[in-house]
Amino acid sequence: MKKNLATLIVILLLSSASIWSYQRFALYQFHGSVFQEPKLAAEIVLRSASGPVRLSDYQGKITLLYFGYTSCPDVCPTSLANLKLTLGNLSPEEAAQVQVVFVSVDPARDTPEKLGRYVQMFDAGFIGATGTREEIDLITAAFNVYYKINNSESSENYSVDHSGFITVIDRSGYAVMSWPHGTPPGEMSEDLRYLLRNGMPISAQILAGPTYTPVVCAVTLAPAHIRGGEWLYQHHCAQCHGSDLAGNPAWQVELADGSHLPPPLDGNGKAWQYSEQDLLQIIKEGRSLDKPMYMPAFKNGLADWEINFILTYMKSKWSINQLNYQHGFMTLTPQATQTLVATPSPTNTATP
């Protein structure tokens, strides 16, 4: 009786541990659209009520960049109010690490002082900035923002068309994601909380990437090889990595002795992030042989062509983007863009 109770407690503990690890390590799905290649945010000096502003001033924080104008009837006030709610959902410590910057594309009517008063109505921490027409054209182009001033010659009450998305710039100054206009504050704060804790994971960038035509992959993944690999896999690997390649649910948890349970070999694991050579090496030589839960070496049990068949079967469970990444067709190192510099004009050099 006592023994049964102890077993029950152990089972309960183990299953709650694996549910916990599942939730903790499942791939996070961003609400915004993640950029496949993060770009270093353009360095353009703008003017705010409290002096010159450049985006690099906020490195170390997450910057939320939004373009509009103060006479904007509905879109801009809604977005700024939503950003206020978004920050309100975060803890004060988290919110202190986020900077909202509102850039006016209408410098003729929006002076830095007017902008300052406008953003303060939403939140005392928001920054309102603008520049010369030239500078605005540079910064909007850099962030793929569209704007058009309608009939500004004919009346004082003109309207301005402009993109309504919000660009997210990470702590190191890279634009990593945008939220379309109307993204609910709850979703934006969830993304922010994730970014503040983990940064932008490379897996999210890969999955955001375009899907390439799998020419090479289609050739490599011959159906007969997949079938052969599946048979070999079921006989040699399934007992540890699972008959569906899902691995042990608690694979990310480091056990007391520093070892790990067998990880998934499908697209949910990390196997696709290894090079072909590394995968062959792991399977032939095994891993962590000094630990109780180890990955056995197969160099004496399987021929190279058999291991290649198994790899083909594993690859048939990866997405096209994961395959291309593994084949080296996609590089995901952040690409720095060249710094944009506006040609100085008389208004540009005047400091407020």
C-alpha Rg value of the chain to the nearest Å: 26
Total residues contacting ligand HEC by CB under 6 A comes to: 24
Residue 241 touching ligand HEC (CB under 6 A): yes
Question: Which residues inside 244-273 make contact with ligand HEC, applying CB under 6 A?
Answer: 259-260, 262-263, 265, 269-271
Helix or strand holding residue 305 (H, E): helix 304-315
Q: How far is the CB of 50 from ligand HEC (least distance, A)?
A: 49
Residue 315 touching ligand HEC (CB under 6 A): no
Question: Which residues inside 195-224 make contact with ligand HEC, applying CB under 6 A?
Answer: none
Burial track 79-105 (b if 16+ CB lie within 10 A, e otherwise)? bbebbbebbebbeeebbeebbbbbbbb
Burial track 193-207 (b if 16+ CB lie within 10 A, e otherwise)? ebbbeeebeebbbbb
Helix or strand holding residue 37 (H, E): strand 33-40
Nearer to ligand HEC, 44 or 307 (CB): 307
Q: How far is the CB of 142 from ligand HEC (least distance, A)?
A: 38
> Which has the closest alpha carbon to 164: 261, 67, 234, 82?
67
Residue 279 touching ligand HEC (CB under 6 A): yes
What are the distances in angstroms from CA 88 to CA 6, 116, 127, 169? 46, 20, 17, 19
Residue 46 touching ligand HEC (CB under 6 A): no
Helix or strand holding residue 309 (H, E): helix 304-315
Residue 299 touching ligand HEC (CB under 6 A): no
Segment lying near ligand HEC (by CB under 6 A), choices 80-88, 150-158, 290-298, 336-344: 290-298
> Which has the closest alpha carbon to 70: 111, 108, 118, 107?
118
The residue behind tokens 């208004």 is 347
Nearer to ligand HEC, 7 or 273 (CB): 273
Nearer to ligand HEC, 207 or 310 (CB): 310
Residue 236 touching ligand HEC (CB under 6 A): yes
Segment lying near ligand HEC (by CB under 6 A), choices 10-18, 87-95, 291-299, 328-336: 291-299
Residue 103 touching ligand HEC (CB under 6 A): no
Nearer to ligand HEC, 174 or 298 (CB): 298
CA dist 96 and 88 (Å) reads 11
Nearer to ligand HEC, 199 or 296 (CB): 296
Q: How far is the CB of 306 from ligand HEC (least distance, A)?
A: 8
Q: How far is the CB of 244 from ligand HEC (least distance, A)?
A: 14
Residue 107 touching ligand HEC (CB under 6 A): no
Nearer to ligand HEC, 126 or 233 (CB): 233
Q: Which of 288, 335, 345, 347 binds ligand HEC (CB under 6 A)?
A: 288
DSSP string for residues in 146-177: -EEE-STTT-SS--EEE---EEEE-TTSEEEE
Residue 287 touching ligand HEC (CB under 6 A): yes
Nearer to ligand HEC, 15 or 273 (CB): 273
> Which has the closest alpha carbon to 65: 121, 97, 107, 104?
104
Residue 40 touching ligand HEC (CB under 6 A): no
User: Cα-flanking dihedrals φ and ψ of residue 55, to 5°?
Assistant: -60, -30
Residue 237 touching ligand HEC (CB under 6 A): yes
User: Cα-flanking dihedrals φ and ψ of residue 108, to 5°?
Assistant: -65, -35
Residues in the chain: 352
Q: How far is the CB of 225 from ligand HEC (least distance, A)?
A: 14
**Would you tell me which residues interact with ligand HEC (CB under 6 A)?**
236-237, 239-241, 259-260, 262-263, 265, 269-271, 279, 282-283, 287-288, 293-296, 298, 310
